[in-house]
């Protein structure tokens, strides 16, 4: 049975999960908010949506007399970050993240967006600004213990994972129930592969993702997702090898088992692959690289 919204689950001695009340096809049973630590001072990862009931559930999950000292945000999508400012104002805890919603985009993605050739931007928390920016490999000294920030773009440019003991809080980069949405210009297929390789090298014993249950076999799951992306790329190249196609036609040719309602999101993943393949000179776009282009193999 799926957990109910705003329920509290003790995942281990130092980690509590509070489930946000925002289930959907994109968020599964809702956003996972995590509280770390065992003493009077605690650390929070991903406050979730701006929802008063969830904020109350977070505060009620803190033991009597304890307080928040850090609010860490994996990335600036509204289902992860929108509740940060109100929680910070209520608790006095500062917000830590890699940057705002535009930070961390690859230059070619930013250029395409600036030229109006890409839409995207689904669910961005445009007003999100952290109190403290956290570069890659920063180790935060917190009351819960040392927490290492890992810049892991792919799902989004400002995405951070957080290493804590032998666990990584993996946000929306690696989940057990679904592959990550990669929607340009914020999503980047090449960056996703690089971030997955970084995670394998980091070698966590388990992952606590932004949605869904803990991932107990991280290496196997990450390799599965990388293989899945490689297979999807091969499908795209085979389909374009038969004839040039526009984005929606190509998506229908590749995602043959999806209902029509899911095709727009599948098209975002397809576009991410096409941009990556264009960067590698394996695909050309006519008249120029854009969502409206006709794509063909080189």
Strand 15-19 to 32-36 pairing: antiparallel
pLDDT at residue 119, rounded to an integer = 79
pLDDT at residue 1, rounded to an integer = 63
CA 236 to chain centre: 24
Residues, the chain:
298
Note the pTM of the prediction, 2 decimals.
0.96
pLDDT at residue 3, rounded to an integer = 83
Averages of pLDDT over runs of 10 residues in the chain (298 residues) are 82 97 94 97 98 96 94 98 98 98 93 82 93 98 98 98 98 97 95 98 98 98 97 97 97 90 91 97 96 96
Three-state SS annotation for the chain: CCCCCCCEEEEECCEEEEECCCCECCCECCCEEEEECCCCEEEEECCCCCCHHHHHHHHHHCCCCCEEEEEECCCCEHHHHCCHHHHHHHHCCCEEECCCCCCCCCHHHHHHHHCCCCCCCCCECCCCCCCEECCCCCEEEECCEEEEEEECCCCCCCCEEEEECCEEEEECCCCCCCCCCCCCCCCCHHHHHHHHHHHHHHCCCEEEECCCCCECCHHHHHHHHHHHHHHHHHHHHHHHHHCCEEHHHHHHHHCCCCCHHHHHHHHHHHHHHHHHHHHCCCEEEECCCCCCCEEEEC
66 Cβ contact partners less than 8 Å away, ≥ 6 residues apart: 39, 40, 41, 42
How far apart CA 287 and CA 231 sit, in angstroms, is 27
- Tokens representing 270? 């397809």
């Amino acid at each position: 049975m799926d957990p109910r919204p705003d329920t509290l689950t003790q995942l281990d001695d130092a980690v509590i999960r509070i489930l946000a009340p925002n289930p959907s096809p994109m968020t599964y049973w809702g956003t996972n908010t995590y509280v770390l630590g065992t003493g009077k001072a605690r650390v929070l990862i991903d406050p979730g949506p701006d929802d008063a009931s969830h904020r109350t559930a977070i505060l009620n999950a803190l033991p009597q007399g304890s307080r928040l000292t850090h609010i860490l945000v994996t990335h600036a999508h509204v289902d992860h970050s929108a509740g940060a400012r109100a929680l910070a104002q209520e608790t006095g805890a500062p917000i830590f993240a890699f940057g705002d919603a535009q930070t961390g985009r690859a230059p070619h993605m930013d250029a395409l967006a600036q030229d109006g050739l890409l839409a995207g931007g689904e669910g961005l928390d445009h007003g999100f600004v952290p109190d403290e920016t956290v570069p890659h490999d920063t180790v935060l000294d917190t009351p819960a213990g040392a927490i290492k920030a890992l810049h892991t773009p792919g799902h989004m440019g400002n995405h951070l994972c957080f290493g804590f003991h032998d666990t990584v809080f993996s946000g929306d980069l690696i989940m057990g129930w679904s592959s990550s949405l990669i929607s340009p210009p914020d999503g980047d297929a090449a960056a996703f592969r690089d971030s997955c390789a970084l995670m394998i090298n980091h070698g966590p014993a388990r992952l606590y993702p932004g949605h869904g249950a803990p991932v107990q076999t991280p290496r196997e799951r990450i390799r599965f997702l990388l293989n899945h992306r490689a297979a999807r790329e091969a499908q795209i190249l085979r389909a374009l090898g038969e004839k040039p196609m526009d984005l929606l036609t190509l998506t229908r040719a590749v995602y043959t088992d999806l209902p029509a309602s899911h095709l727009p999101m599948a098209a975002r993943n397809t576009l991410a692959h096409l941009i990556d393949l264009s960067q590698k000179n394996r695909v050309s776009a006519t008249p120029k690289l854009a969502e409206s282009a006709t794509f063909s193999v080189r």
